[in-house]
Structure formats: C-alpha cells, structure tokens
Amino acid sequence: VPTVPSNNATQALIRVTGSTLDRDELQRLVRLYETILANTDDFVYIFDPQGRFLYANARLLKVWAKSLDQIVGKTCLELGYPDWHAEMHMREVQQIVRDKQAIRNQVFFTGDSGISGQYDYILKPVLNAAGEVDMIVGTTRDVTDAARAHAELRAAEEALRQANAQLADRAAQLENLVQQRTHKLSDIIGELEAFSYSISHDLRSPLRSMIGFSDILLEDYAPKLDAEGAGFLQRIGLAGRRMDRLIQDVLNFSRLSSSEIDLGPVNSDALLRDVIRSYPNLQAARVTITIEPGLPHVRANEGLLTQCVANLLENAVKFVPAGQQSLVNVTARSESGRTRLYFADNGIGIPEHSLGRIFDIFQRVGRDTEGTGIGLAIVRRATEKMGGTVGVQSELGKGSVFWLDLEFAVDPGAAAATTPALEPAPPTSFTI
C-alpha cells in the first residue's frame, strides 16, 4: 500500500527544493516518488548539510517505528542511534560537504539500532546552483545474506584448499611409503638371493659327503656287505641324489623370478633336436619322438625354452605304463602372430581333478619317485617370463597334450628372402 505523504513532508520538500511548482503538481510528484520508494526493501533517506534528516522512506520509518513528521530535522543521535553510529554518519556528512564526493561503505549492526546484519550504503551529495552541497541522499541495502554467502564460499574455498593440501600430503606420504616398501622389498630379494646361494652351498655340501661316503662304502666294502645292506646303501645314495636334484630345481625355479632375460628369435626345430640329442633318456629304445618338419621360430630365450622343452619331453616319456613304447609327437600351429607348440604323449594321462594344479610347484600327480614336483612349475614360470602361456589337455589312460604358446618370430635367415607363411599348419593328429 503506497504511503500517503503528509502535508509536512510536502512542505519539507518545498522548503528544501525551493520549488516554484504549485502545490498540486508537487503533491503528484511526491505521491509518485513515495510510491516508488515505498516499493523497495532498501532504506532511502536525505540529510541536510548539518546531518539532519529531511526524509526517510517507508521501509526506514518502519524500522524506526516512527512517522516522517517525527524524524524530519532530527540527527541520528537525536533518533537514538548509538554514539559510534551517529558520529560515523556525522563525519561522513561533513566529509561530503567538504569534498562533494560520494561515499560508499559497509556497516555491521548488532541490533542496538533496531536492525542487525551487514548493510551496504551509498551517500551522495546533491549540489545547488552555486555548486555547494544542498542535500545528501542516502540508500542503504541489507547485504547480510550476500555477505554470509560470500563468507561461506570463502570458508568452503579454504576447506577445499586445506583438503587439497592434506591430499597432497597424503600422496607424498604414500609415495614415501611405496619407496620405503620398494627399498625393503629389494633388500628382501637380496637376502633371498643370498639365501639361495647359501642353500646351494651349505645344503649341498653335506649331501655330497653323504653320497660320496655311501658310494665309497659300496665300492670299497662291497664284500663285507650282504645284499640287504648293499641295497640300503644304494637307497641312501638314491635319496641323496634326489635331494640334490630337488635343491637344484628349487634354486632354478627361484632364480627364474629374479633374473632378467633377453628375448629373440629361437629356432624351435633345431632346439628340440638339440634337446633330444643331449638327453640320453629321450633316445632310449622304448622312446619314439616325432617332430613335425619345419617347426617355426618363436620369440623366446634359448636357455629358458630349452629348459621348458626338456622338462616337457622328459615328462612325456616318463609316465608310460611299463613295457609300452613311448610315443611323443611334437607339432606347431601359428596363428595371429602366436605359435603354439604341442607335445602329445601316449602316457597314463592326468586325472581331471589334478589338471588345475599340475603347473603348481610341488604338485606331483602320481607316485613318481624320480620327480621333484618342480619341473612343470619351471615350465610355466619360464614360459610366462617369455610372455607366453602354457596349458594341458589330458585323458586318463590315453595320454596328455601339453602346449606352450609363444610369440611367433620371423626366421632371421629367411626374413630377407621370403615373407613368412603365417598360415596354420595342417591339423595334427594326436594320439588322444
């Protein structure tokens, strides 16, 4: 509801403006501005150059709980403002009268002036024809919410900054921890290598003595022993040799994980034939190993692949029922840049429940008195070290097919002359 201006207000305006307009026109104008000024939440007011109120809008009068008549001609002090507040406005009025410059400021009310919160105000001089300050027009806006939002934003920013700093600290701590752990781990690996060395020497040394003395007893004291005694001595020697092989295998297995290896093209055909030539038990009369002609080159490490192939072939010929000919068939298939080498045997086969852990260390499927349970674990670790995979299919009583999957390699000798044929080899016939 627009405030209806009182006669006093109109008279005050006529007095301060020195207007020559007639009363009706002035009243129209006053009604117009009062309507505008009553519609704002801001405080609007006018001081004279002595700091006395000439006008206050409805919003401000409501705060004061006074009518316009009651405030015209009063100073802030006379309206009951606290001293500090009244003096501040008086100083500002005097400054504006002197400098003829507007002032913008913010003030915080704690409630003793009837309002509370953060307020932003602008005091602006109105000059007369002589260029002197005639009146000072003020507007005051409640910015409590904006200030609070701003403060909250700043607090949030600060919290974010602190969180980031904490995060950076934590990251640095973690990095530090990783470095410490890495350091510790390399120490442990070093200790393990020293331990391997000590196994190699300290454990095998007494073993050599046991085997050596049991050999001497068998060789030099045979006439003094009966058949049973000689048999026991032989068993001591066999057990000692088996333990020696076990220690060697464990050492080889543990060295596989720590050693760095070089990979290059390896002629799997030549490598297989070399392995067969150097292992007497692969040339036994009861053994027939067939190698598909022209096995490809694979990307491998010659030493590791030799170990894998030797272990697989020795396994293939070992587990054959007594009196039966051992037949091993080695084939290869190359596809999509990979080569798979298959080792098929006609042995006793592996029960299905054992297939899942056959490549784990110390897993022995049957009552194999020679094996150490490490051979296939070495095959898997060595193959993985060369970026390959291993696998097995088996059927009890019919045989097993072990395979190594490695990256195909171009024959360095033939590379210049022809493009390698990557077509899959013709289907191979396994014995199972």
Partner 1 sequence: MSRPAVLYIEDSPDDVLFVERAFSQVAPTVDLHVIPSGQAAVDYFDPAAQPAPAPETIRLVLLDLNLPGRSGHYILGQIRRASRIPRVPVIIFSASNQQKDIDACYAEGCNAYLIKPTDSDGLRQMISLVATTWLKENIPASPVLPPPV
Which parts of this chain interact with partner 1 (CB under 8 A)?
197, 200-201, 204-205, 207-209, 211-213, 215-216, 219, 237, 240-241, 244
- Please answer whether residues 28 and 6 qualify as being in contact, where contact means their C-beta atoms are separated by less than 8 angstroms: no
Shortest Å, Cβ 212 to partner 1: 5
Shortest Å, Cβ 253 to partner 1: 14
| C-beta of 106 vs 259, nearer to partner 1 | 259
User: Alpha-carbon distance 83 to 79, whole Å?
Assistant: 11
| C-beta of 212 vs 387, nearer to partner 1 | 212
| C-beta of 207 vs 410, nearer to partner 1 | 207
Extract long-range pairs of 119-127: CB within 8 Å, 24+ residues apart: 119/143, 119/144, 121/43, 123/47, 123/92, 123/93, 123/96, 124/96, 125/96, 125/97, 125/100, 125/101, 127/100
Shortest Å, Cβ 247 to partner 1: 10
Shortest Å, Cβ 204 to partner 1: 6
User: Alpha-carbon distance 251 to 246, whole Å?
Assistant: 9
| C-beta of 187 vs 202, nearer to partner 1 | 202
Q: What is the DSSP letter of 296?
A: P
| C-beta of 14 vs 207, nearer to partner 1 | 207
| C-beta of 123 vs 378, nearer to partner 1 | 378
Shortest Å, Cβ 240 to partner 1: 8
The CB density around residue 386, as the number of other CB atoms within 10 Å, is: 20
- Please answer whether residues 47 and 32 qualify as being in contact, where contact means their C-beta atoms are separated by less than 8 angstroms: no
| C-beta of 24 vs 220, nearer to partner 1 | 220
User: Alpha-carbon distance 238 to 229, whole Å?
Assistant: 14
| C-beta of 91 vs 255, nearer to partner 1 | 255
| Secondary structure (3-state) at 37 | helix
Give the bridge partners for 105, in sequence order: 121
User: Alpha-carbon distance 133 to 104, whole Å?
Assistant: 17
Question: How many residues are recorded in the chain?
Answer: 432
Shortest Å, Cβ 272 to partner 1: 25
| Distances 406 to 39, 275, 302, 375, 380 between C-alpha atoms, Å | 86, 18, 13, 19, 12
